């Protein structure tokens, strides 16, 4: 048996080489796709590793072919000595081939980052600490390489940080960051339980009343949590604004009629398990598309991005317009803001960073977020 390893771009190429070198009766023992070359994990090309074997007339030929291959791969596996050659059996050879296959599966490790400037590695590490998605980190690093390839090794840490900062600003500034539009007549707030919708609505209501001198009306359909209703009632009394509790689409229509004279209505919805189709239908019946309306998806920055994506995908069927991030003060990782904006076609709006009403809420300020990410005071 002869054993040989091939690294090729496609299987047809592998078949041609195997047929030419090992003959018509050769068999493929193992195949594996991997990426080779590139820089910092970027611009890598797909390759296929193929381990093939063919029968030989003498066992000595097997050992002659297998032993150099193991040596070539710097294997730590034991090889067959001359004394063992005389008594080697086919099972011994097959066992050696098995060990060789196991070794090859662990073979593709490289030190591609060894030539990267340390401050660029630090950027990669910092973004990873803030839980940026790996693909987004690659895109950011790729941008630096494309724009500064020739001077990459000469870039100072300060210059590199500024380049990354500018890139992060670009990623957010592609979106029109804005709060409640002056033309909006009703703003719906949806999201899972525990993200802080009720408190956020109270903050925004106070902001609209005290800062913009607008007449506000509040509606809540969160009848599943008595505490939420009482909390909103308290804020409504403080701000001297009307609050209506609705349990059905008809209740909602009545509430809208009673609030015709206000400038904008803020509607709280129940935070429930929206993987449940009944809950989805229930909410959808209340969120009637109206002229000059917009719907905000409220997400907590303490949520894992995998779960954040699931939540967003479940809510997109409601015609979401904007995303509102909460609880910035409760997490050290802000990469989810960029992960989300890079993947979902929603406009960023507000961000909250505490429990104080009417404070601790503002339109998302990307420079402050980036300061946190880059470690600036």
Give the tens place of pLDDT for each residue, 125-146. Answer: 899 999 999 889 988 888 787 7
Q: Which of 287, 294, 323 is nearest to 184 (CA)?
A: 294
Contacts of 158 (CB under 8 A, 6+ apart): none
Better-predicted residue by pLDDT, 199 or 289: 199
Q: Tell me which range, 115-124, 152-161, 234-243, is most confidently predicted by mean pLDDT.
A: 234-243
- What pLDDT score was predicted for residue 75? 46
User: How many angstroms separate the CA atoms of 181 and 363, rounded?
Assistant: 12
Q: Over 90: is that where the pLDDT of 218 sits? A: yes
Q: Which of 230, 242, 239, 291 is nearest to 267 (CA)?
A: 242
Q: Which two tokens stand for residue 108?
A: 């593709």
Better-predicted residue by pLDDT, 116 or 185: 185
At residue 234, φ and ψ (nearest 5 deg) are -60, -45
Q: Which of 238, 236, 200 is nearest to 359 (CA)?
A: 200
User: How many angstroms separate the CA atoms of 317 and 340, rounded?
Assistant: 17
- The sheet with strand 45-54 has its strands ordered as 2-8, 45-54, 27-36
Helix, strand, or coil here: 165? helix
Share of the chain above pLDDT 90, in %: 29
- What pLDDT score was predicted for residue 119? 75
CB atoms within 10 A of CB 83: 7
Q: Per residue in 62-108, pLDDT tens?
A: 444 444 544 554 444 444 454 444 455 556 556 655 555 554 444 33
| Residue 214 per-residue DSSP state | -
- What pLDDT score was predicted for residue 110? 37
Alpha helices in 149-225 (DSSP H): 157-173, 197-210
Read off the pLDDT of each residue in 354-360 and give the average, rounded to a whole number: 83
Query: Mean pLDDT in the chain?
Result: 78
* Poorest-pLDDT segment among 138-152, 288-302, 348-362: 138-152
Burial class (CB in 10 A: 0-12, 13-18, 19+), 33: exposed
CB atoms within 10 A of CB 352: 26
């Amino acid at each position: 048996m002869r054993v040989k390893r091939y690294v090729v771009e496609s299987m047809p190429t592998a078949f041609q080489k195997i047929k030419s070198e090992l003959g018509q009766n050769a068999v493929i023992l193992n195949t594996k796709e991997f990426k080779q070359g590139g820089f910092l994990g970027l611009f890598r090309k797909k390759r296929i590793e193929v381990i093939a074997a063919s029968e030989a007339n003498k066992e000595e030929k097997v050992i002659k072919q297998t032993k150099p291959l193991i040596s070539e791969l710097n294997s730590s596996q034991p090889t067959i000595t001359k004394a063992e050659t005389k008594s080697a059996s086919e099972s011994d050879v097959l066992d050696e081939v098995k060990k060789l296959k196991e070794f090859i599966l662990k073979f593709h490790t490289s030190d591609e980052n060894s030539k990267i400037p340390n401050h660029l590695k630090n950027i990669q590490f910092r973004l990873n600490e803030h839980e940026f998605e790996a693909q987004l980190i690659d895109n950011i690093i790729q941008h630096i390489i494309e724009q500064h390839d020739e001077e990459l090794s000469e870039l100072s840490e300060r210059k590199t940080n500024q380049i990354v900062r500018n890139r992060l600003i670009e990623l957010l500034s592609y979106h029109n960051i804005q709060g409640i539009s002056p033309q909006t007549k009703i703003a719906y707030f949806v999201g899972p339980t525990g993200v802080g919708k009720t408190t956020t609505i109270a903050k925004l209501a106070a902001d609209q009343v005290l800062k913009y001198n607008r007449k506000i009306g509040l509606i809540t359909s969160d009848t599943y949590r008595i505490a939420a209703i009482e909390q909103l009632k308290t804020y409504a009394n403080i701000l001297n604004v009307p609050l209506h509790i609705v349990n059905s689409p008809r209740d909602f229509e009545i509430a809208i009629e009673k609030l015709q004279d206000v400038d904008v209505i803020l509607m709280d919805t129940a935070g429930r398990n929206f993987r449940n189709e009944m809950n989805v239908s229930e909410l959808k019946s209340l969120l009637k598309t109206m002229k000059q309306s917009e719907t905000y998806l409220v997400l907590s920055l303490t949520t894992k991005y995998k779960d954040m994506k699931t939540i967003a995908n479940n809510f997109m069927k409601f015609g979401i317009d904007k995303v509102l991030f909460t609880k910035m003060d409760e997490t050290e990782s802000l990469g989810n803001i960029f992960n989300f904006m890079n993947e979902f076609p929603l406009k960023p709006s507000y961000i909250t960073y505490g429990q104080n009403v009417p404070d601790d809420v503002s339109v998302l300020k990307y420079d402050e977020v980036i300061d946190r990410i880059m470690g600036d005071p």
